[in-house]
Structure 1
Amino acid sequence: MAWPAVLVIVPVGIIFILSGLIVNLIQAVLFILVRPVSKSLHRRINKIVAELLWLELIVLVDWWANLKIEVYADDETFELLGKEHALVISNHNSDLDWLVGWILAQRSGCLGSALAVMKKEAKVLPIIGWSMWFSDYVFLERSWGKDERILQSGFERLADFPMPFWLALFVEGTRFTQAKLLAAQEFAASRGIPVPRNVLIPRTKIKVLLERHSMQELPETADGIAQWCKDAFVTKDAVLEKYFSKDIFRDKKLQDIGRPKKSLFVMIFWSSLLAYATVRLFQWLSLFLASWEVITFSIAFLFLVTIIMQILIQSSESERSTPATNFTLSEGTRQRLLPR
């Protein structure tokens, strides 16, 4: 790892871990004391508390990576962002898709109420997973016999959510790679369904394309919903094909998302608070411990921070995502995928 990155990651890691544990403690107290009295009040307060944690990740994108996000959407979709409940069905093209979703949610005013359907292993992750559990994320077993009941109970639990929330779902089920695209294409060809070129078959400068569908547009039956989802991905694949060919949505409105200062203020708040607490802690330790013991304590703490950050980083990684561009098929596979 390059030294400039280390000089940023280590102090940020310390701030994130300490502040995250504080947020988790606050969430636990709220869950025990407030939720039994009023679930609605608990969710409203937890929204604010959760944002204190998630904004620390967003500040890295806004003020360190200096990333610019462009959103393509029609006027109605753009105006309604964050003002209504939404099921956000997204591609999974990189390890940081979830972070882009959080950035959009933060710009739309619903970062603290941005939820997701996730694998159950995530909820045991220190800080991030614990915060997600307190925030009513839906965690799956990846076994339909169990997940059918989990999804039903999770949706029922969210039915009385007191404010607009987003529920994110990566229906492709995995990150996009060339090998997985080939497997998806062969599966589609074997089943006689449209063969994708830019997305995987869904399981039944960053640019973001948003398309809104109201509940009135959706079928009412389970079979109808399943077919609608398949048709939506066929349409998405065709739209992405246009994008990759540089025919960039002339009928869409381009909105550039800037960098709000809220995330920076949150980072300054945590930095100042924890810096003061750290100085006071070492002053207190120096009264009871020798200098070498204080140094040993500091080294052990930094080592612990490094381990935890490594766990959090690796938990977000899988196979390295690769784009569909420059993807070539073997002649045999090409023949099998040709439309008949």
Structure 2
Amino acid sequence: MCPNETSMKGVKCPNEACNKGTICPIESRGLEYYLTASGLIVNLIQATCFVILRPLSKNFYRRINRFVAEFLWLELVWIVDWWAGVKIQVFTEPETFRLMGKEHALVISNHKSDIDWLVGWIIAQRSGCLGSTLAVMKKSSKFLPDESTLKSGLQELRDFPLPFWLALFVEGTRFTQAKLSAVQEYAASTGFPVPRNVLILRTKGFISAVSHMRSFVPAVYDVTVAIPKSSPSPTMLRLFQRQPSVVHVHVKRHLMKEFPEADEDVAQWCRDIFVAKDDLLDKHIADDKFSDHEPRDLGRPIKSLLGVAFTVFSLAIVTALMQIMIMFTQSERSNPAKVSPSKPKRKKNCCSAAHASAHAASNAATKALNQTTCGRQTHLPRHH
């Protein structure tokens, strides 16, 4: 609700933007400042912990960093849960639901909207591993580092002390009808199965992840995101506009030990999964739900409010410290160093000055006359 709106029936916010259904400038600006300030605070804490704690114990630093990062991510979870009121329903087997958040997992998903990553964060938060969730999104998967650097980075996760999720959007970009039309033309010309609800995959990142993580990651979560017909597609803009929505998420667990060894076979496995995902989305369009499992409503936990409370408390401390520094600076400026007063100069008398000037002029004239007559004989008349 815009803060400018009153409780009187029929009275609207004076901001035209609010009445047109766009973001209220006051709400948007306040939320922007809040998220920016809280992000700076968390980054400062993380940098301090990296310098002080990581040289002493990498695992202890990871635990602290996970805790701090989770408080920052909880702010975005709060926007979905409490600000916009988005409802997320999960369709999966009971055993899979029980294991979520209790094991390392590689997550692959379709990219239906621009908040799919945020939906994943909410599920991770409900599963208890939000602070240790990573995601490779959009076109970044095309610019992966060389094999040795990638292997080193993935192997760093081997001794991670807490369950983590690494999410890959293997389509490489968000689904749109224009992109689907282009993909369908390409698939028809090359002999690939023509997709209806997904795009052509970029499997390089997935192959590398499976190759380097199969020894310590037990499962791959195949995630399918869909929007019911009765609900508008959620976007970041609609979130900030506080427009509610419903998101359906289907999760299927695959054991990593059952994966093929060859890279090309792993790529084909991924393509087959997305062919099945295409069929699953067709069924969702027909039934308006994933009919193979009962939905699990994730609800709105109080924990997402704790992150906001923590950040507000941190902002209050920072604001108080800044106020103290400002007052100290002003105090220094208001008390300048004392300087001993100099003796006042006496005023010269105007008449004395004029007299002195006249006297000087007379002396100069006399001197000039003497110089003129000097050495010249003067004859005076003789008186008889």
Aligned 8 A contact 1:75 1:253 in 2: no
CA distance in 2, matches of 1:247, 1:271: 40
Match of 1:325 in 2: none
The answer to whether structure 1 residue 243 and structure 2 residue 242 are counterparts is no
- Name the amino acid aligned to 2:259: L
Match of 1:67 in 2: 86
Distance of aligned partners of 1:37 and 1:280 in 2 relative to their CA distance in 1, 3 Å threshold: closer
Q: Secondary structure at the match of 1:245?
A: helix
Match of 2:68 in 1: 49
C-alpha displacement of 1:183: 1.7
CA distance in 1, matches of 2:322, 2:285: 55
Q: Secondary structure at the match of 1:66?
A: coil
CA distance in 1, matches of 2:294, 2:147: 38
C-alpha displacement of 1:12: 2.6
Aligned 8 A contact 2:101 2:128 in 1: yes
Distance of aligned partners of 1:252 and 1:234 in 2 relative to their CA distance in 1, 3 Å threshold: same
CA distance in 1, matches of 2:184, 2:60: 47
Match of 2:272 in 1: 231
- Name the amino acid aligned to 1:252: H
CA distance in 2, matches of 1:40, 1:68: 35
C-alpha displacement of 1:174: 0.5
Distance of aligned partners of 1:198 and 1:231 in 2 relative to their CA distance in 1, 3 Å threshold: same
CA distance in 2, matches of 1:234, 1:4: 39
Deviations 1:299-336 (A, max 9, x none): xxxxxxxxxxxxxxxxxxxxxxxxxxxxxxxxxxxxxx
- Name the amino acid aligned to 1:23: V
CA distance in 2, matches of 1:35, 1:28: 10
Of residues 45, 49, 52 in structure 2, which corresponds to 1:33?
52
Aligned 8 A contact 2:187 2:194 in 1: yes
C-alpha displacement of 1:11: 2.5
Structure 1 residues without counterparts, runs of 5 or longer: 121-138, 291-340
C-alpha displacement of 1:216: 2.3
- Name the amino acid aligned to 1:7: I
CA distance in 1, matches of 2:262, 2:188: 27
Of residues 258, 262, 266 in structure 1, which corresponds to 2:299?
258
The answer to whether structure 1 residue 210 and structure 2 residue 251 are counterparts is yes
CA distance in 2, matches of 1:19, 1:95: 23
- Name the amino acid aligned to 1:48: F
C-alpha displacement of 1:282: 4.0
Q: Secondary structure at the match of 1:189?
A: helix
Matches within 5 A, 1:179-328: 179-204=178-203, 205-246=246-287, 248-275=289-316, 277-278=318-319, 281-282=322-323, 284-285=325-326, 288=329
Distance of aligned partners of 1:256 and 1:96 in 2 relative to their CA distance in 1, 3 Å threshold: same
The answer to whether structure 1 residue 157 and structure 2 residue 198 are counterparts is no
CA distance in 1, matches of 2:152, 2:301: 36
C-alpha displacement of 1:42: 1.6
CA distance in 2, matches of 1:188, 1:150: 33
Match of 1:322 in 2: none
Greater CA drift, 272-281 or 257-266: 272-281
Match of 2:35 in 1: 16
% identity of equivalent residues: 56
CA distance in 2, matches of 1:29, 1:287: 26
When normalised by structure 1's length, the TM-score is: 0.73
Aligned 8 A contact 2:41 2:314 in 1: no
CA distance in 2, matches of 1:99, 1:248: 21
Matches within 5 A, 1:110-121: 110-118=129-137
Q: Secondary structure at the match of 2:29?
A: helix
CA distance in 1, matches of 2:317, 2:163: 36
Greater CA drift, 148-157 or 226-235: 148-157
Distance of aligned partners of 1:247 and 1:12 in 2 relative to their CA distance in 1, 3 Å threshold: closer
When normalised by structure 2's length, the TM-score is: 0.65
Match of 1:323 in 2: none
C-alpha displacement of 1:269: 2.8
Match of 1:169 in 2: 168
C-alpha displacement of 1:278: 2.5
Distance of aligned partners of 1:7 and 1:143 in 2 relative to their CA distance in 1, 3 Å threshold: closer
CA distance in 1, matches of 2:161, 2:195: 39
Distance of aligned partners of 1:150 and 1:186 in 2 relative to their CA distance in 1, 3 Å threshold: farther
C-alpha displacement of 1:286: 5.3
Please state which structure has a larger fraction of its residues in helix.
1
Structure 2 residues without counterparts, runs of 5 or longer: 1-16, 204-245, 332-384
- Number of residues of Structure 1 aligned to a counterpart in Structure 2: 270
- Name the amino acid aligned to 2:255: S
Distance of aligned partners of 1:4 and 1:188 in 2 relative to their CA distance in 1, 3 Å threshold: closer
Distance of aligned partners of 1:279 and 1:154 in 2 relative to their CA distance in 1, 3 Å threshold: closer
Aligned 8 A contact 2:38 2:72 in 1: yes
Indicate the structure whose relative CO is greater, using CA pairs within 8 Å and at least 6 residues apart. Answer: 1
Superposition RMSD in Å: 2.3
Q: Secondary structure at the match of 2:163?
A: coil
Aligned 8 A contact 2:117 2:135 in 1: no
CA distance in 1, matches of 2:23, 2:323: 27
